[in-house]
Amino acid sequence: MSENLLTHYQVLGIAATATERDIKSAYRKAARLAHPDHGGDPAAFLLVTAAYETLINPQRRAAYDRSYGVGSQRRPGWYQPSSPAGAGASATRAAGPPSATSFAMGHAQRAPKVNASDPAVYVPAFTDLAAGTTPLLPLPRAAQQVHEAPRKRGVFGAQARLAREARTIQLVMAQILPQIPAARLVNGLLSPADNGYVDHVLLSGYRMVLIGSMLLPEGAYRFNGSSLLHGGKVIEPPRMLPAVRTMQQVFPDCNVTGWICVHSPEGNLYQPVIDYAPGAEPDGSTLVNAVNGSRLIREVRHFLAAGPAPNVVDLSVLSRLLGGMY
């Protein structure tokens, strides 16, 4: 997450799974530290109040979570609410969470060779938390590689959609997650771009893959960057570009791409066969890619592993994604 942004959860120093009681307790502590009458920063107090008023209201909190917890503006001299008060009545001042860029650079200096197959490293580290500090996510949940399953939405075509989403999940679980311990698959998210959905998000380090899926008969297709062409017919895949662009804005530290996995009815990973117009090759440089199951495995695994810190689980990004599940 960018250093000048904090989510409401981070402002109060609580996890995204916090209960109403947790929110009230954290607010009382944070308000005492930030209140101008006690020597605190008026701007910080406004942030604490705004965070509390949003999270304590179930409807406002749900709307905020659906927006992936876009952060509040961070002010100079911002403090960590969980830090003990310093000398006198002033709050202890501390630096905020590291940005993706600064962490990646520092990590690269300490360990020049970082591989996607290395054990997962959590940022911020659970071992670095001060006594009494609530982590952004509980460790058991942060350690899960798969979060949630496809959920039924709508009435028409739900069974077919669930079946192809399940295929995509099985493919990622069997062929990608075992190779990248830090990878986290989150299923069933509301799209931040419109009233639609993002079927799957695969996160590793600071690279994020949005995945949609479709089912087509075996045969030869051509992808021109937006549509699939087959036998003179134009087939429109799921609209992913708005979600990819908006996710890139919501998570500016991440490199976000979209992938459409085209399944065959028989489950053959090499079908359908897809060739590409110039400039539409699925090499991770384009915003939206259409691939069969075999190529999804190869290209997505390479894209994630080639990131600057593929063994990192950024808890701020992951917690925000989990908050966006429908």
pLDDT in tens, 275-285: 999 989 998 78
The pLDDT-based confidence of 219 (bands split at 50, 70, 90) is: very high
pLDDT score of 2: 42
Q: How far is CA 56 from CA 24, 33, 35, 80, 156, in A?
A: 8, 19, 19, 20, 36
pLDDT score of 228: 97
What CA–CA distance (Å, rounded) separates 256 from 208?
A: 5
pLDDT score of 3: 40
Residues 305-311 have a mean pLDDT of 90
- Which H, E and C letters describe 247-283, residue by residue? HHHHCCCCEEEEEEEEECCCCCCCCCEEEECCCCCCC
User: Which stretch of 41-45, 66-70, 141-145 has the lowest confidence by average pLDDT?
Assistant: 66-70
What CA–CA distance (Å, rounded) separates 235 from 230?
A: 8
Compute, in degrees rounded to 10, the torsion defined by CA atoms 321, 322, 323, 325. 90
Share of the chain above pLDDT 90, in %: 45
Compute, in degrees rounded to 10, the torsion defined by CA atoms 108, 68, 297, 125. 30
The pLDDT-based confidence of 93 (bands split at 50, 70, 90) is: very low
Q: Is the pLDDT of residue 60 over 90?
A: no
Residues 85-91 have a mean pLDDT of 33
Q: Is the pLDDT of residue 84 over 90?
A: no
Q: Is the pLDDT of residue 90 over 60?
A: no
Q: Is the pLDDT of residue 47 over 80?
A: yes
Contact 48, 54 (CB under 8 A): no
Dihedral angle sign, alpha carbons of residues 317, 319, 320, 325: positive
- Model-level pTM? 0.73
84 burial (CB, 10 Å; 0-12 / 13-18 / 19+) is exposed
Q: Compute how many other C-beta atoms are within 10 angstroms of the C-beta atom of residue 252.
A: 12
Q: Is the pLDDT of residue 233 over 80?
A: yes
Encoding tokens for residue 233? 């017919």
Contact 301, 318 (CB under 8 A): no
Q: Single out the residue of 324, 306, 319 nearest to residue 116, CA to CA.
A: 306
Contact 136, 9 (CB under 8 A): yes
pLDDT score of 253: 82
What CA–CA distance (Å, rounded) separates 132 from 22?
A: 13
Domains and CATH numbers, the chain: 1-96 (1.10.287.110), 141-323 (3.40.1350)
User: Which stretch of 14-23, 61-70, 199-208, 282-291 has the lowest confidence by average pLDDT?
Assistant: 61-70
Q: Single out the residue of 310, 303, 296 nearest to residue 182, CA to CA.
A: 310
Q: Hey, what amino acid is at 24?
A: K
Encoding tokens for residue 36? 């101008």
- C-alpha angle 250-102-115 in degrees, rounded to nearest 5: 90
